[in-house]
Amino acid sequence: MEGLEIGYCSKEDKAYISDLFMRTFKKRPWNSRMNKKDVDSYLDSILEAGDSICLVARINDQTSKNPVGFAFGSKLGYVINEEINEKTTTYLASIAVEPAVRDKGIGSQLLST
């Protein structure tokens, strides 16, 4: 998608990510039983962990600076006794994109970053 900016999550993004996480994963097929406190605690652990990666997507031409999607996971160092390039290999824990802007390649760009 043209005009899309992918960057690292900041503490200021946490409320948005928490809200989108709850709206996305409370629905089928996931039906998560996590409440807001659980999600916030989970996000804190990701944002504070040295081996975690959290990315957000923003559309540059929007008046709102809120992200329109996120992806987070953990860097991988070793899998089955074989070294993996930790700069390019990440375990994806969660990804979500706002319903209004889905099917525009935002999730794909989050994954390819």
Please give the helix or strand (H or E) that residue 92 lies within, else none: strand 90-97
Q: What is the pLDDT of residue 89?
A: 66
Residue ranges of domains in the chain, CATH in brackets: 4-112 (3.40.630.30)
Q: What is the pLDDT of residue 52?
A: 84
Task: Provide the 10 A C-beta neighbour count for residue 2.
Answer: 8
Mean pLDDT computed over 5-11:
89
Please tell me which residue, 104 or 2, carries the higher pLDDT value. 104
Cis amide linkage into residue 99, ω under 30° from 0: no
Q: How far is CA 101 from CA 23, 69, 75, in A?
A: 15, 9, 28
For the entire predicted model, the pTM comes to: 0.80
Single-letter amino acid code for the residue at 79: V
Instruction: Please work out, in degrees rounded to the nearest 5, the angle formed at the alpha carbon of residue 51 by the alpha carbons of 35 and 94.
Output: 40
pLDDT in tens, 70-100: 998 887 655 554 555 555 567 788 999 999 9
pLDDT in tens, 27-52: 877 877 888 899 999 888 888 877 78
Task: Name residue, tokens 């409440």.
Answer: 35
Q: Return d(Cα 39, Cα 70) in angstroms, integer.
A: 14
Q: How far is CA 56 from CA 8, 10, 11, 90, in A?
A: 6, 9, 12, 15
| pLDDT at 7 > cutoff 60 | yes
